[in-house]
Amino acid sequence: MIFRSVRDVSIPAIGLGTWDLRGSQCSQTVSFALQNGYSHVDTAAYYENESEVGDGIRASGMNRSDLFLTTKVWWDQLAADAFRKSAETSLRKLQTDYVDLLLVHWPNPDIPLAETIGALVEAKDRGLARSIGVSNFPSALLRQAQDLAGGQLVTNQVEYHPFLSQRTLLQTTQDLGMALTAYCPIVKGRVDQEGLFRDLAEKYSKSPVQIALRWHVQQPNVIAIPKSSNPDRLKANIDVFDFELDRGEMAQIFALGSPEGRLINAAWGPVWDPE
């Protein structure tokens, strides 16, 4: 496993996304993943599965100190008091005293950013989170948030994959000393249908999905959190560290990206970077 070192925080470059996993499927998936090479799990209050994620962690037998656990505060809970309660509730459901990373899930223009980031920093100061960051922040808002946090934000979790160019945001995160965490990194399996990925999969004796994930982790400040509940795919998703795409192949994949490739465009979302 490759790790990203960001502001003295070490983050596994591939984690388990848990969006839309529920009930026993969620807890069993988390437990299986942690028993088969994963050490990074991503959840959120909005996913309504934090209790099941906590159950899966306990069932795995993994030592808490070996796990990197992320959760997020939903966009309607970003006022200071609500933020505190949300973070505390998440810890109870996850059956842990702290998370390794606490994120603001989406920005909310109706709540002052200074208040939200103040509550986020307070959560870290109280020991509820070892590190902090944001999710779904475009570049201008990200710069404001990092300034308000005194440079403490370690990542911005956003949609990122070969069909969505995030050139501006990648540069911004690098400028701010942050990582970019990619959700939807395999475009819900769409890479399986793309000829370039099929060709590269044949060359390297890998799957198209593994090629896409390798493209992510070869970028210096990128983390990917693919989701699967299929045991074989879970194993395959972290079996991407025994080969390397060459510079030309990386460029070919980058060339597939455009601003029109976005899958997630929530009604409450911000105005995205043009590229």
Q: Which of the residues are catalytic?
A: 47
> Are the beta carbons of 242 and 206 closer than 8 angstroms?
no
Separation CA 192–CA 210 (nearest Å): 10
Residues 6+ apart with CB under 8 A from 159: 182, 183, 184, 262, 263, 264
